Amino acid sequence: MRPSLLSGLTTRGTSFLAAGVAAALAGLLLGERMLVSVGLILLALPLLAAVAARRARYRLSCERMISPARVQAGQTARVHLRLENVSQLSTGLMLAEDAVPYALGTRPRYVLDQIERGGVRELSYPLRSDLRGKFEIGPLEVRLADSFGLVELSRSFSAKSTFVVTPKVVPLSQTVISRSWAGEGDGMTRAAATAGDDDVIPREYRDGDELRRVHWRSTARYGQLMVRREEQRWRNRATVFLDTRRSSHSGSGANSSFELAVSAAASIGMHLAKEGLSGQLVTDAGPVRSAGMFEDILLETLATVRPSAGRDLSKCVTALKASSGLIVVIAGRLSATAAQQLATCRRDGSQAIAVLLAVSTWAEPRQPAAPDGTGQRTAGLAAPASQAETRPAADVLRGAGWRVTTLDASTPLSAAWRQLGQARELRVPAGIAADSEGRLR
């Protein structure tokens, strides 16, 4: 259905049209030919402008670039627009407006007086969001107006761009994850044989393989150097579990325990990637399966993850038991029964870390942290109330050889992570509990 000729009239154009009709009728009633002529001219101007605007064949091209296309929440990106006139005519007055989601602010608008034949106009504006997510930017809408401002027509480009806002990533101490945790060291061959994948078929030696990985029994059998596959597959592996159950979190919006858990998963995952570990993200719905680098999959998934309606951990426990290497758990409200399920996922010879959130502290007013000796503000870790909330699950996990730290609403993640490095690695027999400082009791 073609739009009406009068659909593009501006307020000025409509006023001219109304004035022309009134003048023409008044002239006819009063017998004033001059007044009739003025009325016809006023009628003709907006109509002719509408016809001319619709017949004008402006051809414009638009390119959009977001730099960077992925930022952390609270950071600013910049959108660059390149508008080019590829037609044979110069354009008239134009209003350019880019479509931006409400969460990112108001729509940017630009007034362009004229773009000559082959001319280019470059526009830019900032983008910032305190909320993580994937946002669609565009399309660019251009409104063309005639020289008198009587007619305004809208044209829209089809190109859109995706802007990704990831959770905040907090720098973490490098002393927590040692080389032995990452699956390196002299004892790794034994650990891999007992806790790694069952694939023990050796392969031929390749340039760059370490001699300590040579499988001498297979070398003597085949008459050429052979290396162990399972050791290579075991090294530098980590599995990060994020508890997304709605029932295990408290609070709302950006200050909820769920948002902190998402930020903790992003921070720990990126830290592990920088330490040279490849990994996989697991939620209570199961492992996240996607092609690409671990860092990209982690951030892209966490940018859009939402609380789930699930209540059990059976799927994640199955995935964690099938994994190899380091296990990192970021859990909300966790019962002793659920902790026992998670505790069985750690194999002999492997390492496991648990970050337990004291969820009840997010339902209370957040208290300011006290400054530490370095001038930075940190909170006292695992305050008595938060210890009491997480102790049953923490005792179960520590009893199974896990390293555990408690995180409440006033504790920075970096401080809780440093406490993991300060704690001694324990091998506590089942049935013997440990207190919040790691001492047996």
3-state secondary structure of 72: strand
Least confident of 87-101, 121-135, 220-234, 259-273: 220-234
Give the model's pLDDT for residue 436: 38
Task: Band the pLDDT of 247: cuts 50, 70, 90.
Answer: very high
Give the model's pLDDT for residue 2: 54
Task: Band the pLDDT of 188: cuts 50, 70, 90.
Answer: very low
Please choose, from the candidates 380, 377, 390, 372, the residue with its C-alpha nearest in 3D space to the C-alpha of residue 416.
Answer: 380
At 259-318, the pLDDT tens digits run 999 999 999 999 998 888 888 999 999 999 888 889 999 999 999 999 999 888 999 999
Give the model's pLDDT for residue 365: 54
Give the model's pLDDT for residue 56: 67
Give the model's pLDDT for residue 208: 64
326 or 56, which is more confident: 326
Give the model's pLDDT for residue 228: 74
Residue 179: pLDDT over 60: no
Say if CB 226 and CB 265 are below 8 A apart: no
Give the model's pLDDT for residue 182: 43
Cα(167)–Cα(268) distance, rounded to whole angstroms?
Answer: 12
Of all residues in the chain, the percent with pLDDT exceeding 90 is 46
Average pLDDT estimate for 30-44: 90
Residue 410: pLDDT over 70: yes
For 51, 131, 247, 267, the CA distances from 244, given in Å and listed in that order, are 59, 17, 9, 16
Cα(441)–Cα(54) distance, rounded to whole angstroms?
Answer: 85
Residue 195: pLDDT over 70: no
At 335-347, the pLDDT tens digits run 999 999 999 999 8
Kind and range of the H or E run holding 100: none
Of all residues in the chain, the percent with pLDDT exceeding 70 is 80
Residue 427: pLDDT over 50: no
Say if CB 352 and CB 346 are below 8 A apart: yes
Least confident of 149-153, 234-238, 341-345: 234-238
Torsion angle of alpha carbons 374, 259, 242, 274, nearest 10°? -50
Give the model's pLDDT for residue 333: 93
Residue 429: pLDDT over 80: no
Computed over every residue of the chain, the mean pLDDT equals 81
Cα(127)–Cα(70) distance, rounded to whole angstroms?
Answer: 11
Least confident of 203-207, 255-259, 335-339, 434-438: 434-438
